[in-house]
Amino acid sequence: MSDITVRDLRFPFEEDFDLNVPDEALSLMLSSMALSMTMPYLEPYLIRTMGVAIPKLKNPKLAEDARHFSRQEANHYRNHANLNRRIRTSFSPAGAEALGRIESELDADYRRFSREKPLRWNLAYAEGFEAMTCAGALAMAEFETFKDPYRNPGGEIWGWHLAEEIEHRTVAFGVFQELVGSYLYRLVFGSRSQYHFLSYTGRFFRCMAEDLGREVGMPRTPVESRAIRLFFRTLSPGYDPAKLEIPEHVSEMLAAFSERAKKKAS
Ligand SMILES: [Fe+2]
Ligand SMILES: [Fe+2]
């Protein structure tokens, strides 16, 4: 049985965002919003990749974890798609259109990767993304940034998503190890995937800032410095997400979200 819990939650996004805030706060908000914009394209791509990988897995526990991973990612991107509808309305019609053009390009990239790239390449992408995200999520958990309203435009979706990213951190790594298993391949193509992903979050970020007529850079706070240090550890040949130290309150957060999902279902 998998230790990864699927929580069918939906978060309401009714409030408009106030982007008329000082530079540092805006930088945090736009950074989260840029991340959200990628999710309805990235996460379905991860699910498609797992769909190809799962029948090839010999380890039944890992296959079950991979199914739960995909169901968690499906819940994530559906919520982010709703959040993104709200995000687009915070910008001018021309700004929303420009965001839409970047979204279409990103979607086309991921569909092409699923169609044309070998499974090992797509698995290295998945693991590269998951390792980087887990490093960021852990840094945020250590600093308890889930309470910072500027890092959480849209509210609880961020705490829920990042806690579940930590919860399923071993899956993409485990699937890559079983089906590919090459450290060098993970390093080279994982880094390639991180570059691809970050180039899009950068484009979303700049597009939003430009539409607002604001000159802000990507956030550089102690949380980002910590995330970068944790990220560098993922590049080591000895990296194993199962061995990462997880702050205690992450399991408390997950338990609270599990309760909510159970209540909603009953
Ligand atoms: Fe996710
Ligand atoms: Fe994930």
CA of 21 to the centre of ligand 2 (A): 30
Residue 84 maps to a domain: yes
Q: What is the pLDDT of residues 45-84, one digit of tens each?
A: 999 999 999 999 999 999 999 999 999 999 999 999 999 9
Residue 185 maps to a domain: yes
Q: What is the pLDDT of residues 144-189, one digit of tens each?
A: 988 888 999 999 999 999 999 999 999 999 999 999 999 999 999 9
CA of 73 to the centre of ligand 2 (A): 6
Burial pattern 176-197, b for ≥16 Cβ within 10 A else e, equals bbbbbeeeebbbebbeebbebb
Residue 196 maps to a domain: yes
Say which CATH number the domain at 168 has.
1.10.620
Report yes or no: 200 and 38 within 8 Å, Cβ to Cβ: yes
Question: How many domains is the chain partitioned into structurally?
Answer: 1
Q: Of the ligands numbered here, which is closest to the C-alpha atom of 134?
A: 2
CA of 135 to the centre of ligand 1 (A): 13
Residue 183 maps to a domain: yes
Q: What is the pLDDT of residues 171-182, one digit of tens each?
A: 999 999 999 999
Residue 7 maps to a domain: no
Owning domain of residue 59: 23-265
CA of 133 to the centre of ligand 2 (A): 7
Residue 9 maps to a domain: no
Residue 6 maps to a domain: no
Residue 197 maps to a domain: yes
CA of 133 to the centre of ligand 1 (A): 9
